[in-house]
Chain A
Amino acid sequence: MENIYVNNNNTCELIKAQKGTIEFLMNYSLSLDIIEVHGMKFENNLN
């Protein structure tokens, strides 16, 4: 019997980074501070 594949197009799950990963990145971004001293840039992580 003929399969109608177009009816099954929702079975393909989109790959996406999880919410936890995005939250981690947002927290990382908030905590990261770049300090410039004498033309040199230093990363500072303020947890």
Chain B
Amino acid sequence: MEVFVDDSVLIKKYIDGDERALATLINRHNSRISGFIYSKVGNRNITEDIFQDTFIKVIKTLKRGAYSEEGKFLPWVMRIAHNLIIDHFRKTSRMPRFEGSDTFNIFTVVSDDKLDIESQLIKNQIDCDLNLLIEELPNDQKQVLIMRIYKDMSFKEISEITGVSINTALGRMRYALINLRKVIEKHNIALTM
């Protein structure tokens, strides 16, 4: 036969170090507190979060020895939950929350072009390898390639700066690419994401 132990007794036991007393208290009042929170917020996940935060406060207060309302455990917990519900609504009114539906996903409209962290790391590695390969090119080819690819200059501008004809600049670019491909193939280097 199960003996009903009063909340105040369980609280005392818990303060004295009996963790099972807390489990009994939580299970005893679980549905009432959850129901109360759910009736205000109308969302199961938020209910779960507020329930958790409520009991974190309860645990802290009891462990600190700051609880003094013996015999009124449930109203006290309800008041904590009520305050947290108000906090929740304050937060959501400051930052309105939008939830998509089955037919509309916000991420089809709003997108982030940035690479994810793994792709970014791979890209950095490729850029680094490519720089090493470019360093191996003859100076005239390297110069044209850097001006064309990294500085986005036209072949006309390159020819003016380097003092060679456009055709020569084009030829150096062509040889730079051929040489890069040769090195890549020779050493079996993979430069793809």
Contacts and interface: CB of A to CB of B under 8 A. Distances in A.
Interface in B22-80: 22-23, 26-27, 30-31, 33-35, 38, 44, 47-48, 51-52, 55-56, 59-60, 63-65
Contact of B19 (A17, A24, A29): A29
Give chain B's interface residue range (CB within 8 Å of chain A).
20 to 34
B34 A28 contact: no
B interface, over-half SS? helix
Given A28-B56, A34-B64, A17 B48 contact: yes
B44 A32 contact: no
A9 to B, nearest CB: 16
Given A25-B52, A26-B22, A29-B22, A17 B60 contact: no
Give chain A's interface residue range (CB within 8 Å of chain B).
10 to 19
Nearest to A14: B31
Interface of A: 14-18, 21-22, 24-26, 28-30, 32-34, 41, 43
